[in-house]
């Protein structure tokens, strides 16, 4: 079972009519801009479910960490958090995770967000402006003016950093749905920037198509998807047994490890059982925190909600979903 900890809610902030931020009384929490928390949500039918919510606070500017949750019509977790959580309550959480975070806060960034996709993006914006030297351009799409999360905070940041932050709002009620051609025109002057995209799937497709028409290399485009978890990483997984094993070599943090890999054991489970500090979060192929590179051999992934065909062609695999196919496999986290 994944190691978890308790977070005490310090404050609940109503951001818009359908979004709220949960501020946690945990000033020592260590995380990077753009990461998320996996929270345990009680359920009458299943005991509990796990849901991932991005941190909208910045580790460089905010004393207390916070996640921001936007209510969805059929979202059990988001509705429960928005309706039921109050100051003083405690929630169970996994450690901060995710790779939707800049490698440097000194580079220039082009950020595309829609709806609650602003949550990790705001964390990145605040961090760059506070401790980095990069310039930031943010294109932010929403249904209408009333649904713009963090409208006042973004306006204040833009006023405080007029030469480093440009915020362009896109309102569907005024401009219609954001199309690739229009997003490409917005992005054209900033095509050399590192790009980050977060929001509903149709918006992210439009933004990625826009960047593709500008020949922005895929290695400079980072995407964060919101996917509901089906499995529950807070609960003990059923043990598996296997008679066939493969030989696996794993390089992580400059150290090589060699193990016998049972055919029905997922790579991440094997590494954690052997004491290797491999990165992970959701453990069901929905967040890419456990991504690694297949150097040689072949593996089979049981589920993949995040990797694109180009990622797979580059050898990227999800350790939490990978089983060995060939008798010898080499994996690198470098």
Query: Over the chain, what is the mean pLDDT?
Result: 92
Each residue's pLDDT tens digit, 239-297:
656 678 999 999 999 999 999 999 999 999 999 999 999 988 778 887 788 999 999 99
Nearest one of 18, 23, 36 to 79, comparing CA atoms: 18
Chain-centre distance for alpha carbon 61: 20
Q: What are the backbone dihedrals phi and psi of residue 164, each rounded to the nearest 5 degrees, phi first?
A: -120, -15
Identify the helix (H) or strand (E) that includes residue 76: helix 76-84
- What is the per-residue pLDDT for 235? 74
Nearest one of 98, 95, 96, 88 to 4, comparing CA atoms: 95
- What is the per-residue pLDDT for 284? 80
Percent of the chain's residues with pLDDT above 90: 78
| Residue 74 confidence (pLDDT) above 90 | no
Domains belonging to the chain, first-starting first, are 5-93 (2.40.30.10), 109-224 (3.40.50.80), 245-332 (3.10.20.30)
Q: What are the strands, taking DSSP E only, across the chain?
A: 5-16, 19-24, 36-43, 47-54, 66-70, 90-93, 109-114, 136-142, 165-171, 194-198, 221-224, 245-252, 255-262, 291-296, 299-301, 316-318, 322-324, 328-332
- What is the per-residue pLDDT for 241? 60
Would you state the structure tokens that stand for residue 90, as one six-digit string?
Answer: 């405690």
Each residue's pLDDT tens digit, 205-245:
999 999 999 999 988 999 987 766 666 777 766 665 667 89
Q: How far is CA 128 from CA 33, 261, 263, in A?
A: 9, 42, 44
Q: On the CB side of 78, how many CA atoms lie within 13 Å of its CA?
A: 19
- What is the per-residue pLDDT for 58? 98
The position carrying tokens 């204040």 is 156
- What is the per-residue pLDDT for 82? 95
Would you state the structure tokens that stand for residue 302, as one six-digit string?
Answer: 């049981």
Q: How far is CA 260 from CA 231, 244, 295, 328, in A?
A: 26, 10, 17, 9
Residue 110 binned pLDDT confidence (cut-offs 50, 70, 90): very high
């Amino acid at each position: 079972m994944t190691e978890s900890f308790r977070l005490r809610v310090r404050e609940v902030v109503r951001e818009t009519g359908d979004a709220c931020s949960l501020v946690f009384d945990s000033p020592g929490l260590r995380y990077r801009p753009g990461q998320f928390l996996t929270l345990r949500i009680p359920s009458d039918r299943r005991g509990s479910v796990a849901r991932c919510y991005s941190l909208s606070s910045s580790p460089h500017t905010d004393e207390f960490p916070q996640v921001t949750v936007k209510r969805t019509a059929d979202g059990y977790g988001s509705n429960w958090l928005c309706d039921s959580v109050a100051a003083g309550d405690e929630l169970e959480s996994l450690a901060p995770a995710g790779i939707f975070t800049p490698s440097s806060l000194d580079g220039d960034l082009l950020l595309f967000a829609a709806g609650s996709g602003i949550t990790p993006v705001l964390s990145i914006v605040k961090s760059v402006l506070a401790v980095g030297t990069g310039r930031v351009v943010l294109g932010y799409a929403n249904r209408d003016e009333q649904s713009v999360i963090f409208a006042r905070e973004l306006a204040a940041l833009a006023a405080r950093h007029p030469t480093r932050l440009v915020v362009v709002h896109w309102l569907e009620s005024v401009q219609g749905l954001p199309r690739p051609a229009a997003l490409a025109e917005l992005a054209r002057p900033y095509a050399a920037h590192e790009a980050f995209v977060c929001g509903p799937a149709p918006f992210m497709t439009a933004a990625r198509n826009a960047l593709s028409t500008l020949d922005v290399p895929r290695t400079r485009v980072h995407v964060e998807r919101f996917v509901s978890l089906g499995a529950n990483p807070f609960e003990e997984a059923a043990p598996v047994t296997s008679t066939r094993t493969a030989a696996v070599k794993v390089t992580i943090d400059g150290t090589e490890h060699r193990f016998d890999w049972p055919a029905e054991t997922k790579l991440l489970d094997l590494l954690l059982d052997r004491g290797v500090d491999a990165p992970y979060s959701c453990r069901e192929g929905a967040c890419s925190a456990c991504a690694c590179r297949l150097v040689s051999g072949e593996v089979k992934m049981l589920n993949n909600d995040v990797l694109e065909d180009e990622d797979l062609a580059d050898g990227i695999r999800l350790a939490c979903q990978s089983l060995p196919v060939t008798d010898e496999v080499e994996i690198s986290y470098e």
